[in-house]
């Protein structure tokens, strides 16, 4: 899809940010179309007023809207498209904003997750660049000072993402926010290294999407997830970007801030990445590692005792790790909504030390996104995606360890629910109360749950299995089978499972337009359970009846601590809560992956250079020499 075609279409699409009665990015597009001599609906200044009021109140996610405002001010102020009195109103909002934690004033916004960090740093840099001689009222410093202040943080953030990837792995919403923050810097930054390296990080994020998405939908494992992306993947801003950049996914259902910004900046995707996204081999395997465990920091040359590194760990959401916590206490010298949380963990550690008993080992925070080893197995008909053995048994937040995707926006996964509604974190579908020990080997996934018995209302696990979307569903010999076109799934629960009625009053709050004819909630009561998922297809297995006939009631034996599964496709497989994964007696590696190991890129972890090759095209993202090659 061409950039201008997308921009023309996008101004009439529905937006999802109800707080602002629209999207400032959609208003940005209208200015852009006017600049290109195109007819466009009138600018909705009510939406822009809501945006500015939201930012003026220093609400959470105010930083999300800055990429649109910066573009509007850079390209349209001083023209007949943007009235000067309104430009002055935007300028006042920019000058009055709080750009980082070390500025005065209490706010209840999140500054410090991985995506928020670069959004705030980008906003501070570009705002300071716009108004170098103006005084910013929050801390009384000039714009020139703010620009220099942001440069230090930007370069650190770039370095960490270059070497370690993204802790919010494969998260469609936050990858979009990262790219939006980076694009403004890639175009407008004065420093060549910042421009080039930000552009290469955009390339890297899109390569990540290319190898882990199926037909333009990022429907696999995620570091953070929200229920709408699971139930209705058309809500992903990422899918519109895929449609724009390589003609897969969906661009015409909902306005995408990300796709609009990429189109406005006329971003050109490197050809090797585009070809990798469109490659459809019979089987594609991707092994990938991102983020780090705090205990490995020194090995990678990052000192957790150095306060300059604190935002690496807050981006991982490892605030409370024993190696980090003393520096975490310095982040907010005044009371803040995070203060009590960090202090409580610190006191727990001190009291345990005094009593001579062990405190929680490793990084205890339930939001943490420490080292993750990702396995993706793609065929033209389906995809398997799993964060291998990620933080088993620990409390979870929005982490989504595994999914299988059968095309047509249909995915299946299991969770340990954390709330009855669909908006909490974790909730009925998104996130896990207790993280499972999940692993995948090619087309087979094991997911073991051992839920903390204190959570008496949630001593069960369940599968999201949307029967309404399947062409066929069969239940036989303890197995649940589904077919969507030529993709097949077989699902087994060690504990007896049953269909649970969906509370439509709760479901319809985030999904008012989705009708549920049959329950999608396949629930197994019990705190300890094993779920087995095996995928197949017409190309691999013949017809659906033949696929189903391979699975026997006695294929699984054992319990969560150790079990054996006789897979029709893989042979004898063994696994357990503390046991290795073996297939036909051979142990399968599920940890210590490279940064990338797939047909298009092979790179060690902690590298500064990625070489991507596909279909005769060659891309090099060389951060060590600040050089981008697209050939």
pLDDT in tens, 271-303: 999 999 999 999 999 999 999 999 999 999 999
CA distance 182 to 154: 10
Beta strand 479-484 with 141-142: parallel, antiparallel or unpaired? unpaired
The pLDDT value given to residue 18: 73
Q: What is the model's pTM?
A: 0.98
CA distance 617 to 390: 34
pLDDT value at 361 more than 90: no
Mean pLDDT over residues 387-395, rounded? 97
First to last CA, the chain: 21
Place 21 in a pLDDT band, splitting at 50, 70 and 90.
confident
The pLDDT value given to residue 337: 79
CA distance 201 to 623: 9
413: helix, strand or coil: strand
Place 625 in a pLDDT band, splitting at 50, 70 and 90.
very high
Q: What is the pLDDT of residues 564-615, one digit of tens each?
A: 999 999 999 999 999 999 999 999 999 999 999 999 999 999 999 999 999 9
Q: What is the pLDDT of residues 306-323, one digit of tens each?
A: 999 999 999 999 999 999
pLDDT value at 46 more than 80: yes
Q: What is the mean pLDDT of the chain?
A: 96
The pLDDT value given to residue 564: 98
β partners of residue 488: 483, 536
| Angle between the N-to-C axes of helices 237-246 and 192-212, in degrees from 0 to 180, rounded to the nearest 10 | 100
The share of the chain scoring above pLDDT 70, in percent, equals: 100
Rounded to 5 degrees, φ, ψ at 260 are -65, -40
Q: What is the pLDDT of residues 486-518, one digit of tens each?
A: 999 999 999 999 999 999 999 999 999 899 999
pLDDT value at 17 more than 90: no
Residue with tokens 């024993």: 322
CA distance 595 to 592: 9
The pLDDT value given to residue 358: 84
The pLDDT value given to residue 404: 98
pLDDT value at 433 more than 90: yes
Beta strand 135-136 with 141-142: parallel, antiparallel or unpaired? antiparallel
The pLDDT value given to residue 576: 98
Place 19 in a pLDDT band, splitting at 50, 70 and 90.
confident
The tokens for 287 are 């092994």
The pLDDT value given to residue 108: 80
Rounded to 5 degrees, φ, ψ at 366 are -70, -15
Rounded to 5 degrees, φ, ψ at 158 are -60, -45
Q: Which of 199, 27, 176 is nearest to 114 (CA)?
A: 176
Place 20 in a pLDDT band, splitting at 50, 70 and 90.
confident
CA distance 320 to 326: 9
Going from the C-alpha of 553 to that of each of 430, 476, 538, the distances in angstroms are 30, 9, 23
Mean pLDDT over residues 141-159, rounded? 98
pLDDT value at 622 more than 90: yes
CA distance 116 to 577: 35
Q: How far is CA 563 from the centre of its chain?
A: 32
Going from the C-alpha of 532 to that of each of 109, 468, 528, the distances in angstroms are 40, 22, 14
Mean pLDDT over residues 336-348, rounded? 89
Residue with tokens 């009371």: 335
The tokens for 434 are 């207790």
The tokens for 517 are 């004819």
CA distance 577 to 389: 10
Query: For residues 592 and 373, is the Cβ–Cβ distance under 8 A?
Result: yes
Q: Which of 177, 187, 195 is nearest to 64 (CA)?
A: 177
Q: How many CB atoms lie within 10 A of CB 469?
A: 17
pLDDT value at 335 more than 90: no
Residue with tokens 């090659």: 629
The pLDDT value given to residue 284: 98
Place 258 in a pLDDT band, splitting at 50, 70 and 90.
very high
Mean pLDDT over residues 153-180, rounded? 98
Mean pLDDT over residues 407-415, rounded? 97
Handedness of CA 590, 592, 596, 602 (dihedral sign): negative
Q: What is the pLDDT of residues 61-115, one digit of tens each?
A: 999 999 999 999 999 999 999 999 999 999 999 999 999 998 988 778 999 999 9
Helix (H) or strand (E) holding 148: helix 143-164
């Amino acid at each position: 899809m061409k950039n201008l075609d997308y921009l023309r279409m996008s101004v009439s699409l529905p937006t999802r940010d109800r707080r602002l009665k629209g999207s400032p990015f959609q208003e940005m597009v209208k200015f852009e179309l006017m600049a290109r001599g195109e007819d466009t609906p009138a600018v909705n200044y009510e939406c822009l007023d809501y945006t500015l009021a939201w930012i003026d109140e220093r609400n959470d996610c105010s930083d999300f809207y800055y990429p649109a405002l910066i573009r509007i001010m850079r390209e349209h102020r001083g023209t007949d498209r943007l009235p000067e009195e309104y430009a002055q109103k935007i300028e006042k909002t920019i000058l009055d904003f709080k750009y980082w934690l070390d500025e005065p004033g209490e706010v209840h916004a999140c500054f410090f997750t991985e995506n928020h960090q670069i959004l705030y740093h980008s906003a501070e840099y570009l705002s300071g660049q716009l108004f170098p001689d103006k005084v910013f009222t929050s801390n009384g410093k000039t714009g020139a000072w703010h620009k220099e202040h942001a440069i230090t943080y930007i370069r650190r953030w770039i370095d960490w993402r270059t070497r370690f990837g993204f802790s919010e792995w494969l998260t469609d919403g936050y990858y979009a926010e990262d790219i939006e923050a980076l694009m403004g810097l890639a175009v407008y930054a004065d420093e060549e290294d910042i421009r080039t390296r930000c552009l290469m990080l955009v390339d890297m994020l899109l390569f990540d999407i290319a190898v882990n998405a199926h037909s333009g939908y990022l429907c696999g494992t995620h570091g953070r997830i929200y229920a709408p992306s699971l139930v209705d993947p058309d809500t992903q801003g990422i899918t519109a970007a895929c449609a724009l950049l390589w003609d897969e996914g969906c661009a015409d259902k909902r306005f995408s801030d990300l796709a609009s910004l990429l189109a406005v900046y006329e971003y050109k995707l490197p050809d090797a990445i585009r070809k990798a996204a469109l490659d459809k081999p019979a089987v594609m395997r991707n092994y990938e590692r991102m983020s780090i465990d705090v205990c490995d920091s020194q090995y990678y040359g990052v000192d957790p005792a150095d306060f300059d590194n604190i935002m690496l760990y807050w981006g991982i959401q490892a605030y409370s790790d024993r190696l980090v916590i003393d520096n975490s206490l310095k982040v907010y010298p005044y009371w803040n909504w995070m203060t009590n949380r960090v202090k409580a963990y610190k006191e727990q550690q001190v009291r345990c030390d005094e009593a001579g008993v062990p405190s929680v080992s490793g990084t205890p925070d339930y939001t943490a996104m420490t080292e993750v080893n990702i396995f993706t197995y793609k065929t033209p008909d389906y995809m398997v995606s799993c964060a291998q053995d990620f933080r088993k048994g620990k409390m979870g937040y929005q982490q989504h360890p595994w999914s299988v995707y059968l095309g047509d926006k249909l995915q299946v996964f299991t969770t340990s629910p954390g709330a009855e509604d669909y908006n909490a974190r974790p909730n009925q579908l998104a996130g896990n109360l207790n993280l499972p020990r999940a692993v995948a080997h090619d087309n087979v996934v094991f997911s073991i749950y051992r839920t903390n018995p204190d959570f008496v209302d949630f001593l069960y696990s369940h599968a999201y299995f949307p029967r309404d979307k399947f062409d066929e569903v069969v239940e036989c010999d303890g197995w649940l089978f589904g077919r969507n076109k030529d993709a097949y799934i077989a699902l087994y629960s060690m504990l007896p499972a049953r269909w649970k009625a969906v509370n439509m009053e709760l479901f319809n709050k985030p999904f008012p337009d989705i009708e549920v004819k049959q329950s999608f909630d396949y629930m197994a009561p019990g705190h300890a359970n094993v779920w087995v998922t095996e995928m197949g297809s017409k190309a691999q297995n013949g017809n659906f009846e033949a696929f189903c006939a391979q699975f026997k009631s006695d294929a699984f034996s054992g319990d969560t601590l150790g079990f054996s599964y006789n897979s029709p496709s893989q042979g004898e497989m063994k696994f357990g809560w503390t046991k290795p994964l073996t297939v036909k007696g051979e142990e399968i590696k599920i940890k210590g992956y490279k940064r990338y190991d797939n047909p298009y890129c092979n790179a060690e972890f902690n590298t500064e250079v990625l070489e991507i090759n596909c279909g005769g095209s060659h891309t090099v993202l060389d951060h060590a020499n600040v050089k981008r090659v697209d050939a």
